[in-house]
Structure 1
Amino acid sequence: MKFTKTITKLALVSVLLGSIGVTTSTLNTTTVSAELLPAAKTKDYNKLLQLSKEPGKHYVGTRKFYASWVPGNNVGNAYLSKSYKLANITMDPGREWATAVGAGYIHGQRYIIEHQRDSVEMLVPAEFYHVPYGFKFKKNHAPVECYYGSLAESYNGYYEYSHEYGRTYTATNTIYSNRKDGHRKLTMAMDGQDRGKNQGFFIGLTSIHMNDGRDYYPVYSYSYDGNLGVVYIRTSDIDQFKPAKVTYKYIGTLNKTKGKSYYHSFKPYKNHVDF
């Protein structure tokens, strides 16, 4: 199975289910008023994440567009702010940009407050705003296996009838490490940016506990049009990588880490985004 085919299908499914972000704005027939807003940088994400620790809702003064770092595909774990019911949307990383207006510790969870069209406020898990890091393989690295998976409240599960991923609902974080076709080697050709100067991978360093009892990191599998799919590597395999400056076209650049401690600085591909 070629992963890029799955991503194309996921993008289409997102539109049919009413996904928020740039995919919906450009493909839906619904009229969406255009906005020109600053694109968020690392400090903006960090500010929201800090606010998400504070009880109640806290709003920021300047509206900005934030690139989506949801660590999965077709993820439906977003709530309507007023009713606190699951919203009828799905989210994907990459060329989906959301307007975040605040954050807070709400209903016993850390959330980012997104302001969608028609003035609807959504609550999105704070971990979806963790900016990934730029990496490339170390010289003479050991092979790294990557796995297909589906986050809780996602429509990215394995469909037995067609033997494909990205088709069914999963209630819990699910990894397909026990399926023959559920994993493969992670490669630059399929998963990384292998063109231009700043080659490598975008990898999230917030671990995700899966149903097999193991912890995984999300790898934002790159495609040239800027849409990202997510595969997962075991946290121990991060030792096969070293920090790198990596650019994903239409998304932005993750600058190289400094010193022994991981550090990242996200520079969006545009200073302002017009939707």
Structure 2
Amino acid sequence: MKFTKTITKLALVSALLGTAGASVTALNTTTVNASSMLPTSKTKDYNKMQKLAQKPGITYTKPRYFNNWVPGNNVSDWYTFQPYKRIDHYIDPGREWSRIIGAGTIHGRAFFVNQNEGGAKTLIPAEFYHVPYGFKFKKNHVPVECYYGSLAKSWDGYDEYSGEYEGIYTENNTIYSNRKDGHRKLTMAMDGQDHGKNQGFFIGLTAIHMNDGHDYYPVYSYSVDGNLGVVYIRTEDIDQFTPAKVTYKSIGTLNKTKGKNYYHSFKPYKNRVDF
């Protein structure tokens, strides 16, 4: 089985969503106009927008770039604003930043409102913007198994023909724990930031209920080029980790939260970026 790291699909986004006005791009894009630079978001900005997302209707704010933390690969859970319909397009975590102009609950679901300058509004689920936490393995930890899986409305299912865990659409949260090649050991070398300072993992602590009846946490599996692919660990295995300050290059740092014993305060690697 070959597990392909998730890549930032800028060309695909441009081709599929150019008319919809969605803005999702990599943080290392060349600056072209300093006068249009917008701020990138820290934890307080995420918290503010999450509160707004719980209110009925849309509350509009000044534009700001938010990094999405969608807890899955190749997720297609994204909607046009008017008319309200799902866009058949991928969204991945990591260096994909969206130009967010507001948030609110419509159609019974909490969304962030995404819009390019002069483009149409699109809706991204608010749960895709839950900031992860910083962890490292604790001393004398037992091995932790990680699993490949697919969120509902994702093109990340197992393809029997190619033997890949990408390319097949899944309707429900699916974990491949029953497949021999659907799980492996979680390691720093393959999944964490294992060089330089602030080594460790970015792990989401919002439990995801999978089709095998168990709950899992997403691990944002790091690669040296800054892209992320998501694997999953059983929620009980978080006991094998300890909170830690962790830096993912070209993404940002999870710092210790004031007054708390965890690392959840996100600082993006650049404060302002022109996309």
TM beyond 0.5: yes
Shift of 1:256: 2.9
1:186-265 counterparts in 2 under 5 A?
186-257=186-257, 262=262, 264-265=264-265
Shift of 1:120: 1.7
CA distance in 1, matches of 2:217, 2:148: 12
Q: Do the aligned partners of 1:6 and 1:165 also contact (CA within 8 Å) in 2?
A: no
**Aligned CA-pair RMSD:** 2.5
TM-score, reference length from structure 2: 0.90
CA distance in 1, matches of 2:133, 2:267: 12
Q: Do the aligned partners of 1:243 and 1:257 also contact (CA within 8 Å) in 2?
A: no
Structure 1 residues 187 and 13: CA distance shift in structure 2, 3 A? farther
**SS of the residue aligned with 2:48?**
helix
Q: Do the aligned partners of 1:150 and 1:174 also contact (CA within 8 Å) in 2?
A: yes
**SS of the residue aligned with 1:51?**
helix
State the partner residue of 1:36.
Answer: 37
Structure 1 residues 126 and 177: CA distance shift in structure 2, 3 A? same
Q: From the two aligned structures, give the one with the greater helix fraction.
A: 1
State the partner residue of 1:121.
Answer: 121
Please state if 1:21 is matched with 2:24.
yes
State the partner residue of 1:161.
Answer: 161
Structure 1 residues 170 and 240: CA distance shift in structure 2, 3 A? same
Q: Do the aligned partners of 2:33 and 2:274 also contact (CA within 8 Å) in 1?
A: no
Aligned residues: 268
Residue type of the partner of 2:41?
A
State the partner residue of 1:174.
Answer: 174
State the partner residue of 1:29.
Answer: none
Q: Do the aligned partners of 1:57 and 1:102 also contact (CA within 8 Å) in 2?
A: yes
Structure 1 residues 163 and 24: CA distance shift in structure 2, 3 A? farther
State the partner residue of 2:97.
Answer: 97
Residue type of the partner of 2:24?
G
CA distance in 2, matches of 1:181, 1:132: 27
Identity %: 66
1:15-94 counterparts in 2 under 5 A?
18=16, 21-22=24-25, 35-60=36-61, 62-94=62-94
1:106-117 counterparts in 2 under 5 A?
106-116=106-116
**SS of the residue aligned with 2:44?**
helix
Give structure 1 stretches of 5+ with no counterpart. 27-31
Q: Do the aligned partners of 1:6 and 1:166 also contact (CA within 8 Å) in 2?
A: no
Structure 1 residues 140 and 260: CA distance shift in structure 2, 3 A? farther
Shift of 1:25: 10
State the partner residue of 1:7.
Answer: 6
Q: Do the aligned partners of 2:79 and 2:123 also contact (CA within 8 Å) in 1?
A: yes
TM-score, reference length from structure 1: 0.90
Structure 1 residues 264 and 146: CA distance shift in structure 2, 3 A? same
CA distance in 2, matches of 1:24, 1:270: 9
